Amino acid sequence: MYIITAKHKGNKITRKAFSDTQASAIINRLLREGCTEIGIKEENHTEGEK
């Protein structure tokens, strides 16, 4: 899972993606919407963990 963060008009927003393709699509959308300071990190969770 990927956690994507960005700033939009001074507000911090967070999105989650579950694949590389989905992460890329989310980042492209954020860029089109004028977001800045876009960051991404990968989180690995084992099954059953919340």
For the chain, how many structural domains are there in total?
Answer: 1
User: Residue 28: inside a domain, yes or no?
Assistant: yes
User: Residue 16: inside a domain, yes or no?
Assistant: yes
Percentage of the chain lying above the pLDDT 70 cut: 88
Please state the rounded mean pLDDT for residues 3-28: 96
Instruction: List, as one string, the DSSP characters of the chain.
Output: -EEEEEEETTEEEEEEESSHHHHHHHHHHHHHTT-EEEEEEE----TT--
- What's the mean per-residue pLDDT of the chain? 91
User: Residue 48: inside a domain, yes or no?
Assistant: no
Distance CA 33, CA 19 (A): 21
The pLDDT confidence band at residue 34, using thresholds 50, 70 and 90, is very high
